[in-house]
Amino acid sequence: MSMINPRRRALFVFGVVSFLTGMVVLFLSLLAVSPAYRSVNGMRLARKFYISNEILPDHIFYPVVNLLQRRALGVQSNETERPWLELAMAQRRLDDAMKAEDMKVSEREKVEITITLVSKAHQYIGSAVQVLGERWENGELSEIQKDDLREFMNGTEQKMLDLQKRLPEADRGELAAVMLEEKLMTEKINRQVGEGGL
């Protein structure tokens, strides 16, 4: 049985301790800074640290999750999959917006977070639907993909309606333009499904 070189062991222990110390310092600095971000309406929203099964938009590590998702989208080499990834990211934003009631923030911040997430989801959906619409017209989408897109759009429209209803009456107009565009995209897809093309 060979003995581990004491010098290597010391270097290994030093490396592990250094790494863990660095992680603790990073964690404490994130807590101390309490980074804020701006909503689509310009409201300054603070992020917090808490222990949870999910990282919601009010969590201090939410920007890291979004960065990783955007990075995955940016390096997505397969352009065929890119719009589907954008739809998945939009779905994540809408799901996060649905969880706004569980966030540990003020009611006003919940409204701002919801509007910001829905607006970002809408951007992803618009980009994806434009590409997928062209592929549909060129006969490049399978019937299953067409059904998936139609189901996604119908589900998204319903989810946005639910989110809009959760907002205070005075803030519902913030989503009106987004809702109208989503409704028009959904109607176009549903209409074209019946006609056999987009």
83-118 pLDDT tens trace: 998 999 899 889 988 888 777 778 888 888 888 888
Conformational region of residue 52, where left means phi above 0, alpha means psi within -120 to 50, and beta covers everything else: beta
- Answer whether 83's CB lies under 8 Å from 124's CB: no
Lowest mean pLDDT across 13-17, 29-33, 50-54, 123-127? 29-33
Contact at 8 Å (CB) between 78 and 102?
Answer: no
Q: Give the Cα separation of 96 and 119 in Å (integer).
A: 12
- State the DSSP H helix or E strand holding residue 118, giving kind and residue range, or none if neither: helix 107-137
Could you tell me which of 34, 22, 186, 43 has the C-alpha nearest to residue 112?
43
pLDDT at 37: 58
Backbone angles phi, psi at 144, to 5 degrees: -65, -45
Q: How many CA within 13 A on the CB side of residue 17? A: 6
Q: What is the reported pTM? A: 0.70
Can you say how many angstroms the Cα of residue 49 is from the centroid of all Cα atoms in its chain? 19
What is residue 61's DSSP assignment?
A: T
- Beta-bridge partner residues of 38: 44
Is residue 45 predicted with pLDDT exceeding 70? no
Q: Where are the domains of the chain?
A: 1-33, 35-195
Grouping H, G, I as helix, E, B as strand and the rest as coil, residue 38 is strand
Q: For the chain, what percent of residues have pLDDT higher than 70?
A: 81
pLDDT(26) > 50: yes
